[in-house]
Structure formats: C-alpha cells, structure tokens
Structure 1
C-alpha cells in the first residue's frame, strides 16, 4: 500500500508521526527503520497509536487489512508467521483491501487447480505485453492467494500448494513484471519472497528460478553469485532444459562481467544440456530451445565485443522471431545493432536500431527503449545523419504505461 501511494518508508514514517501527534498530542519515535521492521514482519503488532495512525494514513478499514494481527491464537500466530516469512505487508495489503472479503470459506484441491490454471493463462501474456501492463495482474493473483490463506479453511496439503508452490511462482512472475516496468528494488523483494516460499516447499526448481531472476536484476558481481547459486541449488544431476537455462544465464552474467572464458564454457554447457532428453521440464524452463540459445549466444558475444561471433546467431534467430513479441525482439535487435557497430557496419546497425525503436513503442516495458537509446547514441556518435536522427527520435519517444 505504501508503494502504491508512491511513499518512501521515510515519508510514511513522517505521516504516521504527524498523525500520532495530532491524535495523542505526543511526539512519536516512528522512523523509516520502524516502518521497514513492520513491513518485514519483525514488528507484527506495533503499539496501538502506531497501528491506528497506519490505518488512518493508509486509508484502510482495520488493522487486519494491513496484515496486523495480535498473536492470541494459534491460527493468528500462523498468519503472523506467514507475513513475517514473506516480508510482504507493504505489498499484499493493497490488493487484499481492494479484493474485499471475497475469500471462499473452504478451498480444496480442485480450487487450487483452477487457480493454477488461471495463473498459467495470465503468464502467457508476458510474451505479448510489458511489465507495466501485467504487474497488477500477477500481483493480484498473489494477493488473492494470501487472502485465501488468511481467511479460508484449508487442509495441510492445500495450504502447502498455496503457501509455497503457487505463491513462489506468482511472486517470481510479479517480480519479473516489476523489473520489466523499471522497478528493480521492488522486483528484488518479490524474488526474495519467491525464494523463501520455494525453500519452504523444498522445491529446488523454484529456488533456482528465483536465484536466476535475482541474477538478472543485481549488479555484476552479485549477478554471477546468484547464477552460480542457482546451479548449486538445482544440483549436479540436473539435465535438459533446466541446466540449459541455468548455464545460458550464467554465460550472460559472465559476459556482462567481462569473463570471456567462463562465458564460453557456460554457453557450451547450455548447448549440451538442451540436447539431452527432458520430457518433464517445468514450466519455467520448458521454452528453452536452440533458437533461444542462438539469441543468448549472440547477446553474449555482442557484449564481449566479438561481432564476428554475434551477428550470425542473432540474425538467424531473429528471422523467425514474431513481431508480436515486441519487447524481446526489440531488445535482441539492439544487441544485433551493437554487433554491427563493432563490426564497422553503420548502415546495418541503424536498420536494426530503427526496427528496435518501432517495436519498443509497442511494449509497456522500459527496458527496450532504454537499450534503443544506448544504441542510437552510439550510432549518432559516428556522425551519421541517420544515426543522429535515430538518437533524436529515440530520446523524444515516451511510453504511455501503467505503473506498479
């Protein structure tokens, strides 16, 4: 809720202090650190004046709408533990309050299957839309899940499916959408949520996937550590598309860090892995194939400044890549443009940049346009008239998107 209102923890703390002083006539010590501890569940039942101020400032009906419960009963204790474990009060409270009291009284296996099927259909939208358009869809699914956990009667098996497996997947997808919309800090919180849920379920696949996502949004050194941790989590016996995706992401992390030798080894390992039989590949990696590895190979060599090795695989993969997947195709075209620039072929670089710019305007994602601007500026630096024009238009382009 704080994030939805565009407030930092310090700003929320200031409003809470003002509300407490207005209602009690006494100063309050609430600061940004206290808000952080409340959001993370370290303080699950703050003092009454703070609770009442939070309710007033955030405009909800009750303390429970904020996920605050006095641990007087075992069930309430479980609720508090779940909130603390997931560190998500600031996020789930918004969607839960919007959903109202719609949680069913009892939820069974069939209901979980329906929730999973619905979420799978929503995930398919990621190929066509950007994170700014999909974030609230995925986040609302996660919040609905949490609402069911808080208010519905569940068996232990159903609770496990909701609290761990499905929640981890929903958090990972929400984090990806937040990252795609340009909110990296928020994305990390979702990925951390998903990681904790996956660890509770002892699902090494989902643990690895959470770590893979973290490797994409973190800095270079942290990126490599996260990618290596993902491989460790999934174990040495993993094969097929699981390892193909893990190794390809490791290759990218190494390339960004300038480690050519390690990147090449990881790419070779990914090629070997994707050729092995993998009939039971989980959804998070089932899409990995040779075309995807061609794209990653081209991206890796482009970043490493080897256009001779980058241009062919990228060109090959993009020939049959649909324009309807505008975000991804735009991004991949920017690495092709970079490779052409490194090869001294300014004309082809500008053509790729023009295609990338046209596609970037179709997706509710900040990433393609940011990359296009980088490439366009490189084109302009060559003093090409067409390059200068591309850079100007890329800089003037604005995306009209929703925001997490």
Structure 2
C-alpha cells in the first residue's frame, strides 16, 4: 500500500467502526514513519492493527519511550568507566544515527507476527555460518522467513536495560554476517526488507544506550556494514536512489568507527552503481578516491577489491589502458603476502575465479571477446550454480562475448542458461542483463535459436522480475 492508500483505508475504518469522519492523507502516514507525530489515538491504532494486520501496537513499531537510565547501586563494581561513552564516540554515534535515520525515510513498520521461529533459532543458524558451516539456498530461505516473523533479539535483550555489552555487540556482528551470506542465495527484492529491518533495529538499539568506546566502534562499524549491504540489495531490487543514501550514510558510520577500509568499500560500491547506471567519470573518481584513501596497513585482499571497482569504472568509461593497469594491480595485490591484520568480513567472497570474472567482464565492455571468453568460461564452469544471481550475471557476459565474436549460436546457448538461472532469483541486475541480451540479439531475430530465446524470455515474464 502507498502512504495515501493506507491513509484512506484508516479513514474508511474509522468511519465504519466509530461513525467518525476523518480526512487523513499521506503526510500523516509519513510523519508516523519518520517518528515526527504523536502516538496515534486508540481509533487509528485499531485501524492500523486491522488493515496491516498486526497483533498489537508493538508490532506496528510503536514502543513506549524509555529515556531515563536505570539507577545503579552506589557500589556497582562496573564503575563509570564501563558505562559512559567518551565524548567523541557519543557524538559520532549520535551523528551517524541521525544520518542513517535520514537515509531511511521509507522504512516501514517491522513485522513481528507470531511464528514458531525464535531468536535462539536465528542465533543458532548464525553461529552455524560463523563456524564455517555451509549456507545453502534452502537454509537462506528458512533464515529469511525467521527474520521476517521474529522479534529481533537485540530489542529483547535491551528491554531489561539500556547498556550494550560485548555479548550484544557480537550478536549484531554475527547477524550482519548472516545477512551477508544470505545475499549469496537471495535476490535484492527478497533481501531488502530484511536488511532494512536489521539496520533499523540496530539504530533503535544504539539510540540513547550506553556503551564503552571499543563497543561503540564495533557497533558503528556494524551499522556501516549493514548500510553497505542495504545499499547493495536495494540496488539489486532496482531502488537506486535509496541505495545511494544507504552507501553515503554508511560512510558516515564507518568514519565514526574509525574504520577507513570499510568507508572505502562503501564509496567503492557506490562507484560500482554509478558505473553501471550513471556517469562513468564520476564512478572512476569515486573508485580511485576509495582505493587511494585506505591506510598502509590495509590488507592486500581489501585493496584488490577496491582496485577491481577502479578497473570496472574505467572499462565502462572505455579507457582500455587504465583498465589494464587496474587489473594488473588487482593480480599483484591479491597475491601479496597476507598482513597480520585479519581480512575484513566484506572481502570473504573475493576469490581467484571472481577476479577472473571481473577481468572477463571488463574485456566484454572493451569489446575484446577472445580474452573475455577464455576467462569467463573457466570461471563459470567452476562456479556454484546455487548462487543463481551471479551465475546468471556471469553467463550473460559470456553470452555477450560470444555475440561480439560473431557466434550467435553459442551466444544463445549461454543466454538460455543465464535466463534459467535468472528465473530463480528476484534480482533487477539479472533481469536487466537478460533484457540487454535480448536487445543485442534483436538484429538476428530471424535466427531460429534467437526466436527460441525470445519465446523463453516472454514465457518467463509472469515470474514478476524486478525492473
């Protein structure tokens, strides 16, 4: 429902059940979403519970405000040093919270309807992933369902107080990593609400809570990680403007956490979005800024990831020489002796095959099909088919490379595989690439195989792909 539709539904409910004529409009709903309005009265809350539907007021996101801190016994052995944030971290947390709240202007109420799933069950699955267990498509869907229907454990834990300790900080980090792994199997249209809910929950948790400086930096870094993931899945759901707001707000949180590699990754990911759908010159500037802005101790894998975005932005710009230089740097950085510093979580997916795929995509962009076919064929053959979005994307570039090499038959054969993979995931990136292939194949529309691809694509339209 749009805000206006929801407002009109409330008007109708109040008229029917209370014989009262009201004329709410979309601005009232927007104020509720932004927390700029008083609590709705009993009639409006009853209407919202009925329309949405929701079992109680808390399910709508209306929580009693608890601004005062609980009194502590004078002999509390934890001491003030364990409770108070430093001025700089407190200020950074407040500013980052405001920035992210501004970025979340379309946040909807969290669905907390009854479910057999429990926070402990989500925590158990998160621990399974953190311990190195494999997360497959079915498990990802199960965790996705749990996330949608279970009250976040962060909120449950804070109801007895407003102090964030190490256990709660670790829980936020663990849940962020679980969501990141789920994104390997689910498309942006399925993931966006989940990540947005987690980001909102984490912001609610840190609002007015007390924590030490190290805990504060961990939490803010998690906010930055969640903002990066929110931007990624929003872009994959076709919500490009929202994605940009997430990325920029995440940069603010990462800087507040003094995590420059994370801030660079956020800027770099935004450059990737600009390269795909915006001005490639802006993308080159952002990607280069991110790659040059990390401190010397940044790991080789992190810097290789940042240079991949530099290569892609330059390929989209059509600068072959700069692209080649960046790809060479990626190879050198990835093979560097690992630093003692651990790799950031956001680099977990970067492998030799992923580097080959990016090089192949760059060569497709530069109209050099021979190296592109060699690189993409080898990497795709080794790729896990359960990662349907990436499988579809990478096959689409291989199909385009075959078409550049004037091999229409091979192109259509690969394009059909890409289409089959795309039908299994709600991804605007995948559907956009499939439509791009159809456009590229249009000059050969009399070819029997091309007609086969066109008909298969037409038959897949009812799957309601994102646009």
Q: 1:396: how far off?
A: 4.0
The answer to whether the 8 A contact 1:241-1:281 is kept is yes
| Residues in 2 aligned to 1:66 and 1:230: alpha-carbon distance in whole angstroms | 39
Partner SS, residue 403 of structure 2 = helix
Q: 2:168 aligns with which of 111, 135, 139?
A: 111
Q: TM-score, normalised by structure 1?
A: 0.79
| Residues in 1 aligned to 2:209 and 2:221: alpha-carbon distance in whole angstroms | 18
Note if 1:125 corresponds to 2:182: yes
Q: 2:372 aligns with which of 303, 310, 314?
A: 310
Note if 1:189 corresponds to 2:245: yes
The answer to whether the 8 A contact 2:202-2:223 is kept is yes
| Residues in 2 aligned to 1:321 and 1:93: alpha-carbon distance in whole angstroms | 36
Q: Evaluate the alpha carbon distance shift between residue 183 and residue 345 of structure 1 in structure 2; reply closer, same or farther with a 3 A threshold.
A: same
Structure 2 partner of 1:85: 99
Q: Evaluate the alpha carbon distance shift between residue 377 and residue 93 of structure 1 in structure 2; reply closer, same or farther with a 3 A threshold.
A: closer
Mapping for residues 62-81 of structure 1, pairs under 5 Å: 81=95
Structure 1 partner of 2:382: 320
Partner SS, residue 344 of structure 1 = coil
Structure 1 partner of 2:419: 357
Mapping for residues 167-182 of structure 1, pairs under 5 Å: 167-182=223-238
Q: Evaluate the alpha carbon distance shift between residue 304 and residue 6 of structure 1 in structure 2; reply closer, same or farther with a 3 A threshold.
A: farther
The answer to whether the 8 A contact 1:103-1:147 is kept is no
Q: 1:185: how far off?
A: 1.2
Structure 2 partner of 1:137: 194
| RMSD, aligned CA | 4.0
Mapping for residues 166-315 of structure 1, pairs under 5 Å: 166-218=222-274, 219=278, 220-235=280-295, 238-278=298-338, 280-315=342-377
Q: 1:393: how far off?
A: 2.4
Q: TM-score, normalised by structure 2?
A: 0.69
Q: Evaluate the alpha carbon distance shift between residue 66 and residue 306 of structure 1 in structure 2; reply closer, same or farther with a 3 A threshold.
A: farther
Q: Which runs of 5+ in 1 are unaligned?
A: none
Q: 1:91: how far off?
A: 4.4
Q: 2:437 aligns with which of 360, 375, 379?
A: 375
Q: 1:393 aligns with which of 456, 463, 466?
A: 456
Corresponding residue pairs, total: 377
The answer to whether the 8 A contact 2:380-2:391 is kept is yes
Q: Evaluate the alpha carbon distance shift between residue 309 and residue 397 of structure 1 in structure 2; reply closer, same or farther with a 3 A threshold.
A: same
Q: 1:238: how far off?
A: 4.0
Q: Evaluate the alpha carbon distance shift between residue 210 and residue 59 of structure 1 in structure 2; reply closer, same or farther with a 3 A threshold.
A: farther
| Residues in 2 aligned to 1:291 and 1:392: alpha-carbon distance in whole angstroms | 32
Any idea what the Cα deviations from partners look like across 1:88-121, whole Å, max 9, x if unmatched?
A: 4524563399859645123310121122123212
Q: Which portions of structure 1, spanning 4 or more consecutive aligned residues, are displaced by more than 6 angstroms?
A: 55-58, 77-80
* Segment drifting more, 145-154 vs 78-87: 78-87
* Segment drifting more, 99-108 vs 240-249: 99-108
Q: Which runs of 5+ in 2 are unaligned?
A: 12-19, 50-56, 70-84, 114-150
